[in-house]
């Protein structure tokens, strides 16, 4: 679930509590949550370090340490972070950083697909090539209709599949891609290379806006999800979803029943009348 707006929300909520804190102890409850290096070195490299800053790149959360190392967390489908009092142990907790203020940062990840990496900030191991190759952030200077046009040109794949490519739209996932395509009035299954100039401009704008809105409303918390903000609150954007999770419901614009199809093995939601 955590796409760019959810990770950005985590970053903002956690920053005031984490910056300046020292990591006293590291508990790896599930070794396969550690993507790099081996768990022993991972723990040793974190213990005693102070958190200097929190950054984000796409869906990756970056904790800058006073050693010059960087702790990189990726939530994948079901991960989230919580700040808890030390005695408290959460269900599905896979990694814990005990802090010098009596609390701990818990990486909770039921499906164990998420990963934690500890790297020098300037040299990434091959497991992080996805992060290295990531495209510009939506809404940033290097991102816009021109970038999108270059990425979609000549491609026959459904436009939706390309929006999920982090080189094209970093930080975008299944929820925000469906929402952006709805706002742009474009069918998710359209071959990407066949979009008109106008449509690409609309799509670029919709993507920027839907991501900005998602951040503004502190992300999406689906009813069956346990994504919580570190302070225990939920996001608000789920109340503003127009197509995602709305299959069978009437379109908010035209009343047509929202459909759900499968594109590239991902469930995809759209209005068959508004999106052409």
Partner DNA sequence: CTTGTGTCCTGTAGGC
Partner DNA sequence: TGCCTACAGGACACAA
Query: Contact between 161 and DNA (CB under 7 A)?
Result: yes
Among 90, 145, 157, 201, binds DNA (CB under 7 A): 157
Angle made by CA atoms 254, 267, 131, in degrees to the nearest 5 = 115
3 is catalytic: yes
Judged by beta carbon, residue 150 or residue 276, the one nearer DNA is: 150
* Nearest-approach distance from CB 66 to DNA, in angstroms: 27
User: How many whole angstroms separate alpha carbon 51 and alpha carbon 18?
Assistant: 6
Cβ atoms < 10 Å from Cβ of 50: 15
Q: Annotated catalytic residue: which of 59, 94, 103, 187?
A: 59
Collapsing DSSP to helix, strand or coil, 124 comes out as coil
Among 175, 184, 203, 258, binds DNA (CB under 7 A): 175
Name residues contacting DNA, limited to 68-107 (CB under 7 A). 74, 76-78, 92
* Rounded-to-10 torsion of CA 270, 226, 214, 57: -110
Cis peptide before 37 (omega within 30 of 0): yes
Query: Contact between 39 and DNA (CB under 7 A)?
Result: no
* DSSP 8-state code for residue 239: G
User: How many whole angstroms separate alpha carbon 176 and alpha carbon 269?
Assistant: 11
* Nearest-approach distance from CB 197 to DNA, in angstroms: 19
Query: Contact between 129 and DNA (CB under 7 A)?
Result: yes
Q: Output b/e per residue, 63-87; b: 16+ Cβ within 10 A.
A: bbbeeebbbbbbbeebbbbbbbeee
Q: Annotated catalytic residue: which of 25, 155, 266, 272?
A: 266
Backbone angle region of 185, left / alpha / beta, with phi > 0 → left and psi within -120 to 50 → alpha: left
Q: Which stretch binds DNA (CB under 7 A): 162-170, 195-203, 205-213, 248-256?
A: 162-170
* Nearest-approach distance from CB 45 to DNA, in angstroms: 22
Longest C-alpha distance within the chain, in Å?
58
Q: Which stretch binds DNA (CB under 7 A): 8-16, 44-52, 111-119, 201-209?
A: 111-119
179 is catalytic: no
Among 122, 156, 197, 232, binds DNA (CB under 7 A): 156
Collapsing DSSP to helix, strand or coil, 55 comes out as strand
Collapsing DSSP to helix, strand or coil, 98 comes out as strand
59 is catalytic: yes
* Nearest-approach distance from CB 21 to DNA, in angstroms: 26
Residue that the structure tokens 């974190």 belong to = 46
91 half-sphere exposure, CB direction, 13 A CA radius: 3
* Nearest-approach distance from CB 195 to DNA, in angstroms: 13
State the Rg of the chain over Cα: 20
Q: Which stretch binds DNA (CB under 7 A): 48-56, 82-90, 168-176, 179-187?
A: 168-176
Work out the burial of residue 162: count CB atoms within 10 Å of its CB; fewer than 13 is exposed, 13-18 middle, 19 or more buried: buried
* Nearest-approach distance from CB 64 to DNA, in angstroms: 20
Judged by beta carbon, residue 20 or residue 193, the one nearer DNA is: 193
Query: Contact between 158 and DNA (CB under 7 A)?
Result: yes
Task: Give residues in contact with DNA (CB under 7 A).
Answer: 1-3, 32, 58-59, 74, 76-78, 92, 110-113, 129-131, 155-158, 161-162, 164, 166, 173-175, 192-193, 222, 224-225, 245, 264-267
- Catalytic residue positions? 2-3, 59, 266
């Amino acid at each position: 679930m955590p796409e760019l707006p959810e990770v950005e929300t985590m970053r903002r909520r956690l920053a005031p509590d984490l910056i300046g804190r020292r990591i006293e102890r590291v508990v790896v409850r599930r070794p396969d949550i550690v993507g790099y290096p081996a768990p022993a070195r991972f723990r040793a490299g974190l213990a005693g370090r102070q958190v200097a800053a929190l950054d984000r790149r796409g869906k990756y959360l970056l904790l800058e340490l006073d050693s010059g190392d960087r702790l990189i967390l990726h939530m994948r489908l079901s991960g989230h972070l919580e700040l808890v009092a030390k005695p408290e142990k959460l269900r599905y907790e896979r990694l814990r950083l005990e802090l010098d203020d009596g609390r701990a940062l818990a990486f909770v990840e039921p499906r164990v697909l998420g990963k934690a990496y500890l790297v020098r900030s300037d040299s990434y191991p091959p497991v992080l090539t996805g992060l290295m190759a990531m495209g510009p952030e939506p809404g940033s200077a290097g991102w816009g209709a021109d970038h999108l046009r270059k990425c979609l040109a000549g491609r026959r794949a459904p436009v939706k599949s390309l929006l999920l490519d982090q080189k094209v739209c970093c930080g975008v996932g299944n929820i925000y891609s469906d929402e952006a395509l709805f706002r742009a009035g474009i069918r998710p299954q359209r071959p990407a290379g066949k979009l008109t100039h106008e449509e690409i401009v609309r799509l670029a704008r919709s993507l920027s806006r839907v991501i900005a809105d998602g951040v503004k409303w502190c992300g999406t918390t689906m009813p069956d999800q346990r994504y919580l903000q570190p302070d225990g609150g939920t996001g608000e954007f789920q109340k503003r979803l127009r197509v995602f999770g709305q299959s069978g419901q009437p379109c908010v614009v035209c009343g047509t029943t929202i459909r759900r199809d499968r594109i590239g093995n991902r469930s995809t939601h759209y209005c068959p009348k508004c999106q052409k």
